[in-house]
Amino acid sequence: EPHHHLIDFTESFSSLSSFQSLGTRDLFVSSVLSIKYTLLNIKSDFENIFNDLKMEICLEANLRRERCIASKSLNRGLDSVNQNLKETASQFAVEIQNTKEILMMTCCLSSHLVESSSKDGDGVESSESIFESENHDWSIVDTA
C-alpha cells in the first residue's frame, strides 16, 4: 500500500499550503504532523518491501546452494556408477579372454586327439568313425 501513503502525503502537503496561507497555526501544525506520519508510513512500507526483497534474495541463495550441493552429489553418484561400469566391463573382458583361452585349448586338445586317434593303426576306431557312428550316445554331451 505505499501508493496509498503517497496520496496521503500529497493531500497533506496541499492542505498545508492552503492552511499556511490562511495563517491558522493549529491547522498548520496538524498538517505538518499529518505529513510526518505519512512519511513514517511510507518509510515503513519501503522497509517492509526491502525486508521482503532481502528475504527473497536469501531464499534464492539457499535454493542455489541446495541445487549446487545436489548437483555435486549427483555428479559424485554418476562418477561412482561410471567407475563401477568400467570395473565391470574390465572384469567381463577378462572373463571373455579366459573363456576364449579355454575354448582354444579345448579345440587344440580335440584336434590333437582326433589326429592321434586317426593315426592309430592298432584297431582303434578312427575319429571319423566315432563321429559317424549312430550307436554312440550323444546325450551325455553338454551342448550348453
* Percent share of the chain, pLDDT over 70: 62
C-alpha cell at 25: 497555526
Integer Cα distance of 54 and 133 in angstroms: 93
Instruction: Specify burial of residue 114 (Cβ count, 10 A radius: 0-12, 13-18, 19+).
Output: middle
The pLDDT assigned to 76 comes to: 92
The pLDDT assigned to 15 comes to: 56
**pLDDT value at 12 more than 70:** no
Alpha helix segments (H runs only) across the chain: 2-22, 25-119, 127-132
- Does the pTM surpass 0.85? The reply is no
Span 22-37, pLDDT tens digits: 556 666 677 778 888 8
Span 68-92, pLDDT tens digits: 999 999 999 999 999 999 999 999 9
**pLDDT value at 104 more than 80:** yes
What average pLDDT does this structure show over 31-56?
89
The pLDDT assigned to 21 comes to: 53
* Percent share of the chain, pLDDT over 90: 40
Q: Which residue has the cell 500529497?
A: 10
